[in-house]
Amino acid sequence: MKYAEKQKVLECYQKHKDMIFKLAWAYCKDTYQAEDIFQEVFYKYLTYHPKFKTPEHEKAWLIRTTINLCKNFLKSKWNRDIQQLEEWDKGQESLSDPSDAFDALKNAILDLPEKYRIPIHLYYYEDYSVREISHLLHKSESTIQTQLQRGREKIKQTLERSERHDIRA
C-alpha cells in the first residue's frame, strides 16, 4: 500500500471511528460485538479500496456497511442463542432502575425497537437530516419522520413510567 493510500485510510479512521462504533453499538447493544463490527467495517474499507465521489459519499458508505454488518449479526444463530441466554439470566437476578436521568434516557433509547432506535441515533447523535436518513435506510422521508415521532413518543412514555415508578418507591 502506498503512503498516500495509508494516509487516506488513517484520515478516514480518525474522522469516522466514533460514529461507526456508536452506530454499531446502537444496533447491537453490545460493546464487544460493536467492536467486532467496527473492525469489520474498516477491514472492508481496506480490502475493497472503494472510490468515493465526495466525503459525504464515503461517510454514507461507512454507515451503510455498518448497518448491513449489524443486521447480519442480528440475524445470525449465534446472536439468537446469546439473547435467549441473557433473557434467562435477567430472569434470575433483580435489576435496579437507573437513578441518573442520562442513564434513563440512554436506556429508553436502547429499549426502542430497531426501526425507531436507528433513525433516532442517526438524527440526534450523527446530525443527519430526515432526507439523508431516508437515503441511508432506503425508506421514504415520511416513513423516517413517522419513525422519529413514534420513537420520541415511546421514549417519553418510558421516561414518564420511570418517573412515576421512582416517585412511588
* pLDDT attached to residue 91: 44
Lowest mean pLDDT among 20-24, 78-82, 106-110, 116-120: 78-82
CA–CA separation, 46 and 153 (whole Å): 40
The answer as to CATH 1.10.10.10 being correct for domain 96-169 is yes
Topology adopted by domain 1-94: Rna Polymerase Sigma Factor; Chain: A (1.10.1740)
Identify the burial level of 86 via C-beta atoms within 10 angstroms of its C-beta, where 0-12 means exposed, 13-18 middle and 19 or more buried: exposed
Identify the burial level of 52 via C-beta atoms within 10 angstroms of its C-beta, where 0-12 means exposed, 13-18 middle and 19 or more buried: middle
87-134 pLDDT, tens digit each: 544 443 434 444 566 777 888 888 899 899 999 988 888 888 999 999
The rounded mean pLDDT for the chain is 82
Using 50, 70 and 90 to split pLDDT, how confident is the model at 37?
A: very high
Whether this prediction's pTM lies above 0.85 is answered by no
Amino acid identity for residue 5 in this structure: E
Q: Give the residue extent of every domain in the chain.
A: 1-94, 96-169
- Please give the average per-residue pLDDT across 64-90, as a whole number: 67
Residue 138 is classified by DSSP as T
- Domain 1-94 and domain 96-169, same fold? Reply is no
Q: Report whether pLDDT(7) > 50.
A: yes
Q: At what angle do helices 3-28 and 55-75 cross, to 10 degrees?
A: 40
144-157 pLDDT, tens digit each: 999 999 999 999 89
CB-CB contact of 102 with 110 (8 Å)? no
CB-CB contact of 120 with 112 (8 Å)? yes
